[in-house]
Amino acid sequence: MRGHWVLLLGLLAGVPAAALAHDVGVIRLGVEEAAAGSELEIRGEKLSKNTEFTVVLRGALETHTLGKVRSDSAGAFTLRVVLPAEASPGAYVVRVLAPDGDESARAELRLLPAAPPAPAAESHDHHEAEGGHDAPVEATADPLDLPLDRSPLEWAFVLAISAGSLAGGLTLLRRP
């Protein structure tokens, strides 16, 4: 009987805590993938009204504060931020945190590597003119020319592995 009173008191104590909970909002990102160092637009909706939030970028191993924003009287905001250039590429979550640190909204973002700085035209031409090895590599539509020379022993080994795999597969198919 005493256990029922403890349970009842616990439930009644939880009612004020539920009343203090934050509104669960929604944020929409301008893009699903963005490069580190690029600009990102974040739009929030259905959040607590006239409240200041902290926007963070949370990854598996690192967290970056993107800024603070205040929602309007409708519980909405629009924020433009520059993603940290030093952030590692990978999967991140953009989180909107209430003043007490609770999460009010979240959205997933895939962070791509930062775009490398464009080489100066003078140094590019200079290296090509010299024929040096420091010339930057550029993408082309030409097929990749890789040497594919194999010795007869290597080809025999590849064919033996293939034949053995085929024989094993056929044996497994014939078993009742």
Q: What is the mean pLDDT of residues 36-63?
A: 92
User: What's residue 143's pLDDT?
Assistant: 73
CATH number, domain with residue 56: 2.60.40.1930
> Higher pLDDT residue, 147 or 79?
79
What integer pLDDT is reported at residue 97 of this predicted model? 93
What distances in angstroms separate CA 83 from CA 13, 33, 61, 126, 171, one per listed residue?
42, 11, 16, 34, 57
The reply to whether 114 falls in a domain is yes
Question: What's the confidence (pLDDT) of residue 53?
Answer: 94
* pLDDT beyond 80 at 139: no
| Beta partners for residue 29, in sequence order | 42
The pLDDT score that the predictor gives to residue 128 is 47
pLDDT score of 1 = 52
Q: Is residue 168 part of a domain?
A: no
Flag whether pLDDT at 135 surpasses 80. no
Which H/E stretch holds residue 39? strand 39-45
* Residue 30 three-state SS: coil
* 153 within domain boundaries: no
Tell me if 176 is assigned to some domain.
no
Between 16 and 107, where is the model more confident?
A: 107
**Is 150 domain-assigned?**
no
| Under 8 Å between Cβ of 109 and 93 | yes
Confidence of residue 141 (pLDDT cuts 50, 70, 90): confident
Please indicate, yes or no, if residue 156 is contained in any of the structural domains. Answer: no
Strands annotated E in 46-173? 52-58, 63-70, 77-82, 90-97, 103-112
Give the chain's domain count.
Answer: 1
Does the residue 39 lie in any domain?
A: yes
Structural domain range at position 117: 22-134
Q: Categorize the per-residue pLDDT at 133 as very low, low, confident or very high, splitting at 50, 70 and 90.
A: low
Distances (CA, A) of 162 to 11, 75, 149, 171: 67, 64, 19, 14
Instruction: For residue 28, tell me if it sits in a domain.
Output: yes
Q: What is the pTM of this model?
A: 0.56
